[in-house]
Amino acid sequence: MRYFFHIRDHGETILDEEGDEFDHPEDAAASAVQAVQELASARIKDGLVIDDQRLDLCDENGVLLLSLSFQDVVRKQLKPQA
Amino acid sequence: MDIPLQTAISNKLLALLPAADFEEVAGDLQHVYLPRGTPIGTSGEPIDYLYFLTSGIGSVIARTPDGHRAEAGLFGFDGYVPTSAVADVELHSHDVNIQVDAEAYRMTYADFRRAMETNRNFSRVVVRAMEAFSIQLAYTLVSNAIHDVTVRLARWLLMCHDRVQGDEIALTHEYLAIMLAVRRPSVTTSLHLLEGSGFITSGRGKVTIRNRPGLQMFARDAYGRPEEEYRRLMKNLF
């Protein structure tokens, strides 16, 4: 099944017109998290803020399966210091 | 088999050869069509043919034991593959695939080795081309280490543009992701940024260069040196 990884930045959508094949939706979801990690890291490295960026994972019928906030993904990596 | 006419050949290396040296190898050359996706070498497999592209683009892809892939080099009418044949190595070191529909002249590995041993000028040209290719590789390495993905994308697009006729390049995001060793969404985002700056338009399966000077300015530190070195290496050979 083909899955599409759209990026939304402050409401502006960058459409993935090509998509990628995955056997299971869980694999597509895992790939989406890894993509956000890569994109968020690149922003940090370039000194850009991470504010309102999201990755929307859709199936080939256009159904939204998962909407990942870059901030949430980064937040999960942060460990509060005691 | 038709003997090709040297003046009609678009491969730079074959075209550069002095006429007499070209005549010696011309009979070994077979014209072939290589559509996108054609594998022309598999790592570890014996080299059947050497390919001198006259159009289109191929890529040399390094593959790790875990199956990760990244582009090790790009070639078109400027070179030949596999360069390891120059070292008299009978096996492909890397995977080689055609990425943009190509035409080529090919010769068997045996004919190539014979030409290397008996035709000094032929040998000279291919060894120079191998050096030029390794310079390209060195700059790819540097670029991968220090430039961000959008700049690296600009670099690869310029390199592809150098090797095609016109401004349209048939490239999938999947291929770009492999070239750049990033995930596809990073390619989508970077293409969007370059498009926003007016350098390219990106459609389904193709990228069109709209503003070459602008794209070159943007790529600035990442593009140009291997191309200068190629011109220097391939000048005044004979």
pLDDT at B69: 86
* Beta-bridge partners for B208: B168, B201
Share of chain A above pLDDT 70, in %: 99
Task: Assess: ipTM above 0.90.
Answer: yes
Please say if the pLDDT value at position B2 is more than 80: no
Work out how many CB contacts closer than 8 A connect A with B: 44
pLDDT at B169: 95
- What DSSP state is assigned to residue B182? S
Share of chain B above pLDDT 70, in %: 100
- Interface contact B185-A35, CB threshold 8 A: yes
Contacts A27 to B, Cβ<8 Å? none
Residue boundaries of the structural domains of chain A: 1-22+51-82
- In angstroms, the separation between the Cα of residue A81 and the nearest Cα of chain B is 31
Residue boundaries of the structural domains of chain B: 6-126, 144-229
Whether the CB-CB separation of B94 and B133 falls below 8 Å is answered with: no
Q: Which residue would you say has higher pLDDT here, A77 or A80?
A: A77
| Facing A17 at nearest CB: one of B148, B189, B204 | B204
- Interface contact B186-A38, CB threshold 8 A: yes
Place of tokens 């004979």: B238
- Interface contact B186-A42, CB threshold 8 A: yes
Sign of CA dihedral B154, B207, B130, B181: positive
- In angstroms, the separation between the Cα of residue A82 and the nearest Cα of chain B is 35
CA dist., res. B12 & res. B7, Å (int): 11
- Interface contact B188-A7, CB threshold 8 A: yes
A35-60 pLDDT per residue, tens? 999 999 999 999 999 999 999 999 99
CA dist., res. A57 & res. A28, Å (int): 8
B2-6, B140-144, B158-162, B192-196: least confidently modelled range: B2-6
DSSP string covering A13-81? EE--SS-EE-SSHHHHHHHHHHHHHHHHHHHHHTT----SEEEEEEETT--EEEEEEHHHHHHHH----
Determine whether domain B144-229 maps to CATH 1.10.1060.10: no
Mean pLDDT of B16-41: 95
- Interface contact A20-B184, CB threshold 8 A: yes
Render the burial of B23-40: b for 16+ CB within 10 Å, e for the rest. ebbbebbeeeebebebeb
Average pLDDT, chain B: 93
Please say if the pLDDT value at position B1 is more than 80: no
Average pLDDT, chain A: 94
Class of the domain covering B6-126:
mainly beta
- B68/A contact by beta carbon, under 8 A: no
- B146/A contact by beta carbon, under 8 A: no
CA dist., res. B5 & res. B9, Å (int): 7
Q: For an interface test with B, which of A10, A17, A45, A70 has the most B Cβ atoms less than 10 Å from its Cβ? A: A17
CA dist., res. B60 & res. B78, Å (int): 14
